[in-house]
Amino acid sequence: MSAKLSLLKLDWSRLYRPDFRFGPLNLILLVLIMAVGAGLQARVDLSTPNLPITPDICGILAAIVMGATLIVAPMWTKAIGIGVVYWLVLRFAYPGVDLGPTYAAAYVGLFVATSLQIAKQWEKGVVLRLGKFHTLRGPGFFFIFPLLDRVDSYIDHRVRATDFRAETTLTKDTVPVNVDAIAFWLVWDAKMSVLEVADFEHAVILSAQTALRDAIGKHELGEMLSEREKLGREIQEVLDRKTDPWGITIQAIEIRDIIIPKALEDAMSRQAQAERERQSRVILGTAETEIAEKFAAASAAYQDNPVALHLRAMNMVFEGLKQKGSMIIVPSTAVETMGLGALGGLTAFDRSRPVEGGAAPESSGEEIAD
């Protein structure tokens, strides 16, 4: 059981780290060179003509097998092993046959096909020669010396987006929060990113998590919720100072989500609701105060002018009587002061007189009751 766990813990990506790229173009080049060798081999007289597979056909099939093997494991040790196995197979399969063209085409094809490398438009290839840094190559086609050079890695110069998070971290006011963030960064110096740090992607993630935790501990929860951009800028400045010696620039840090405990979220919701109710009551009280001030200012205009007050009262009664079937009840004192009793009696007398050739007119239904 322990042996199985130890095997799972092995970093297979580092154990089988490629020395070069071997793609479809390299495979085509290898097959073409070995096909030329097969054509030359066909011109050589065989001492044993009755063979199931001739050496030229065997060479073309071997080219396909070699290419497939190098696509899976592009390493110089695998290329050497393929060459040795190929020599042993032909040596025992065709004893006494001159296989010079086949051998030459196989080894030349292996070295030429593996020396041709292609870097994409956004990549730089880091070339090591005998273990020491040699140069940066790309984008496009470039060649390396077989067995002496190896392309340690292809560095992507595009902007990358990496998400990271800090779980159950205490703020300055001791509130546990979970924070999710995104870092936008790029490699501006491929040489430094390879020589100064072993795994720069993993190092950026760990540094970002540490900087996020430190920033959370320096701010209260209210500041984090209301000033996310400020928090992101602080983390970006701290992280950029750390990664600059690695040839990496942190362009921006964005706080994506801040998760607080459910109980605290409910308490904050109730607090916000109470605050809104308090503000509404304050606004209502302010409105009542302003209305009272307006009424006080209006009453000052009628204080020493009873005629204006009577006219205003009569206007209010008139506005009410314009509605058909309406009835207005006013105090008797108001009727006496405004002379509405005499006015109402004259109106009723006028309506009760009979008209010529007919009965008295019908009442309109508008009355003033004292």
Residue 258 CA to residue 180 CA, distance in Å, equals 7
Cα–Cα separations (whole angstroms), residue 33 to 41, 70, 107, 149 = 12, 16, 10, 22
Paired tokens of 130: 């005998």
212, 181 contact by CB (below 8 A):
yes
What is the rounded distance in angstroms from the CA atom of residue 36 to the CA atom of residue 349? 134
Last residue of a domain, one of 138, 153, 168: 153
Q: What is the CATH number of the domain that holds 219?
A: 3.30.479.30
Q: What is the pLDDT of residues 288-332, one digit of tens each?
A: 888 887 777 777 777 777 767 677 777 777 776 666 666 666 666
- Distances in whole angstroms, Cα of residue 328 to Cα of each of 127, 314, 324, 370: 103, 12, 12, 9
In angstroms, the CA 115 to CA 166 distance is 45
Domain boundary pick from 134, 153, 172: 153
- The count of structural domains within the chain is 4
Q: Are 75 and 113 contained in the same domain?
A: yes
Torsion of CA 77, 81, 83, 86, to 10 degrees: -160
Whether residue 189 lies inside any domain: the answer is yes
In a domain, 365, yes or no: no
Position 361 in a domain: no
- Whether residues 18 and 103 fall in one domain: yes
* CA terminus-to-terminus distance, the chain: 107
pLDDT < 50 regions, the chain: 3, 5, 7-8, 48, 346-351, 355, 357-370
Dihedral angle at the C-alpha atoms of 166, 169, 175, 179, nearest 10 degrees? 0
Residue 366 lies in a domain: no
Instruction: Let me know whether 170 and 249 are in one domain.
Output: yes
Is residue 362, in this structure, part of any structural domain at all? no
Domain identity same for 139 and 165 = no
Check residue 21 and give its pLDDT. Answer: 92
| Prediction pTM value | 0.65
Run of H or E including 250:
strand 248-259
Query: Does residue 6 belong to any structural domain of this protein?
Result: no
Decide if 269 is inside a domain: yes
**Claim to verify: residue 148 and residue 41 sit in the same structural domain:** yes
Residue 177 structure tokens:
């929060």
Contacts of 97 (CB under 8 A, 6+ apart): 44, 46, 47, 48, 55
**Among the three residues 153, 180, 208, which one is the final residue of a domain in this structure?**
153
Phi, psi of 161 (to 5 degrees): -115, 120
Question: Which residues on neighbouring strands pair with residue 159, listed in sequence order?
Answer: none
Q: Which pLDDT belongs to residue 87?
A: 87
Q: Are residues 100 and 186 in the same domain?
A: no
164 and 149 together in one domain: no
Tokens read off for 40 = 């030359």
Domain membership of residue 203 as a residue range:
160-260
Do 315 and 350 belong together in one domain?
yes
| Shared domain check, 139 and 15 | yes
- The Cα–Cα gap between 255 and 180 comes to 6
Q: Is residue 348 part of a domain?
A: yes
Residue 158: predicted pLDDT:
93
What is the distance between the alpha carbons of residues 86 and 107, in angstroms, rounded to a whole number?
Answer: 10
Torsion angle in degrees (nearest 10) through CA of 281, 287, 290, 295: -120
What residues pair up with 254 in beta bridges, in sequence order? 182
Q: Are residues 247 and 289 in the same domain?
A: no
pLDDT at 37: 84
247 shares a domain with 224: yes
Kindly state whether residues 250 and 190 are assigned to the same domain: yes
